[in-house]
Structures are given as structure tokens and as C-alpha cells.
Structure 1
Amino acid sequence: MIDTKRLIIRPFLLTDAEDVFEWRSDAEVNKFMPYPCDESVGEVRQRLEEWIADNDKYAIELKENGKVIGDITLEWSEEDNAHEIGYNINRSFWRNGYATEAVRGLLDWARRELGVHDFTAFYAKDNGASGRVLEKCGFVIEHKGQYSRFDGSEFFEAVYVRLHIE
């Protein structure tokens, strides 16, 4: 569990399904994501079972009321020889600094508790808000490229960023 000023970052629970469905079913939130929107709370529960088993995606929970407002991922990228960070926030909570706070909290925890020093991330070039979050956290542009939806139906111009913390 990671404790920041306003957030708790913790493993997901099956009881988080309703909160998770709020952003996983929102086309605006998923505009630049490689996966499709979830169609039902039941589908989200199945996804949560996978996340819980894999233990690399965490809930972003508001301390004030226990609402899960997003997810954050930390997973090893063999290709980048670094730990990749990804995140997603419920649209109702955008523009409040929660994504930046969650990323900073995860970075600090990974450095202190896991001894991780190298991080990577990417974002769609047209998703400037996500780019600003990573820039505020110290990531610098490494190169540009593209990624696609899992089904290959859409491609996005992407910015790949990296961070090294001593």
C-alpha cells in the first residue's frame, strides 16, 4: 500500500468493480487506450480477477471517501530494460492533480521499496494532459513512435519517455 497526501494506492479488490466500470466504460477516458471500453460490471469483475492475480495494476483510491478513481501499473518491460508506468483516471476527477500525485507516489515507493531506478512510459501525442503528468514527474522524451489498439483498428502517434532516479 502506498500512502500519499490525498490517495491510497493499493491492490484491487473485486468490490471495486462498480467504481472501475465508471472509467473503463467511458469512451472519453479510453480515447487513447489500446483496449476497448468494458461493456458491463461483470466484464470488469473478470478483468479485476486477472489484475489481482497478476499483481501489477493497482487501485488509486481517494483517502477522503474510499472511492477508487483510477488505476496505475508498474510492470517490467524487457524491451526497454525498465519498469513501465501506466495510469488511467476517472474523468470526473481529471484536472485535480491526482494522476501526478499517484505517479510520484508509485515512483517513490518503487525506488525505496523495490530498488527500481529506471522507468519508462508512453502516451499518445494528442493526449497532452498525460504528457504533462509525466513531465511534472521528471520524465524526458526518449523517442517518438506509434502504438495501436489491441485489435489493430486504430493507430496513435506516441511519445516515449524515460526517467532515471538515483
Structure 2
Amino acid sequence: MIKTERLLIRPFMESDAEDAFEWRSDPEVNKFMPYPCDTDVEALRERIREWIADNDKYAIVLGEKVIGDISLEWNEKDKAHEIGYNINRSYWRNGYATEAVRGIIGWAVNELGIRDFTAFYAKDNGASGRVLEKCGFVQEYTGQYSRDNGKTVFEALFVRLHID
């Protein structure tokens, strides 16, 4: 578990499915995500079981409420650990995403010895870009990513953070 000033970052539990469904089924939250909106809480509960087994996606908890998720996964192409995150729209514009990203970076550096991080975001998603910029990420290259079905393509910025 990772504790920040206001948040707890911990492994997901199956009982988090209802909270997670709130944002993972929200088209506005999902607007720039590479995966489609969730439409079934039981299917999400099954996916949470996979996250628990893989141990690479974590719940962002405020008080007793799961308000988002954050992941830290090895990215072979960029030879760095990729960070991804998502926050329930009801909690936007409160600094929670920045706090969670800083928290997982600090934990990864201090506990795992990780020094290289990468992330990406849609050019049209300025809020996500500001989160990463506040955390020290700098642009590395531009490119594209798409939703799983390939029908929606996003112009993207790929960013990197190296900790000495």
C-alpha cells in the first residue's frame, strides 16, 4: 500500500467493482482511453480478478471510496515502466491524479529501484498532459494510439521521466 497526503493506493479487491464501474462506464471519463466503456459490473468484477492476479493495476482510494485506478507496467518498446491512470469525474480538478502519479513514482523508486517511467496521452486531453508535466515528465515523441476496436485513433504525446 502507498499512502500519500490524501490517498491510499492499494491492490484492487473484488468489492471495488461498484465504485470502479462509476468511472469505467462513464463516456466522458473514457473519452481518451484505449479501451471501451465498461457496460456490465460483473464483467468488470472479472477483470478486477485479473488485475489482482497480474498485480499491475491499483485502486486509488479517498477515505473509503475507490475514486480511480493507476497502473505500472513494463513497456518493452520504451524500455521503461509505463504509468496509466483514470479518475472518477466527480473527483476531477482536485489534484488527485497528480498526487497518485507522484505516489506511485515515489514508491517505485524507493521500493523497487525503478528509475525510468513512460506514459502517453491524447493531444486533446490537456488535463492528463498537465498531470504528467507536474510530475516531471517531458515529451519524448509523438504518435498515435487507438481504441481496441481500432475505429477511434488519437494523436498522442509520449512522455518520459528519468530519476537519477
Q: How many residues align?
A: 164
Number of the residue aligned with 2:56: 56
Kindly provide the CA deviation profile for residues 135-166 of structure 1, in whole angstroms up to 9, marking residues without a partner as x.
00000000111000011011000000000012
Letter in 2 for 1:5: E
Letter in 1 for 2:45: R
Q: CA deviation at 1:44?
A: 1.1
Number of the residue aligned with 1:9: 9
Q: CA deviation at 1:28?
A: 0.3
Number of the residue aligned with 1:32: 32
* 2:27 alignment partner, SS class: coil
1:105, 1:11 → 2: CA distance?
Answer: 14
The correspondence for 2:91, drawn from 93, 99, 104, is: 93
Structure 2 matches for 1:40-51, cutoff 5 A? 40-51=40-51
1:143, 1:124 → 2: CA distance?
Answer: 12
* 1:43 alignment partner, SS class: helix
Identity of aligned residues (%): 74
Number of the residue aligned with 2:64: 66
2:54, 2:149 → 1: CA distance?
Answer: 22
CA RMSD of aligned residues (A): 0.5
Q: CA deviation at 1:41?
A: 1.1
Which consecutive residues of structure 2, in runs of 5 or more, have no partner in the other structure?
none
2:64, 2:26 → 1: CA distance?
Answer: 21
1:144, 1:38 → 2: CA distance?
Answer: 28
4+ residue runs over 3 A deviation = none
Q: CA deviation at 1:43?
A: 1.4
2:42, 2:100 → 1: CA distance?
Answer: 27
Name the TM-score, length of structure 1 as normaliser: 0.98
Letter in 2 for 1:125: K
Kindly provide the CA deviation profile for residues 25-71 of structure 1, in whole angstroms up to 9, marking residues without a partner as x.
00000000011111121111011011111100000001xx3100000
* 2:159 alignment partner, SS class: strand
Name the TM-score, length of structure 2 as normaliser: 0.99
Number of the residue aligned with 2:109: 111
Structure 2 matches for 1:18-29, cutoff 5 A? 18-29=18-29
* 2:34 alignment partner, SS class: coil
Kindly provide the CA deviation profile for residues 3-25 of structure 1, in whole angstroms up to 9, marking residues without a partner as x.
00000000000000100000010
1:41, 1:142 → 2: CA distance?
Answer: 37
1:71, 1:100 → 2: CA distance?
Answer: 12
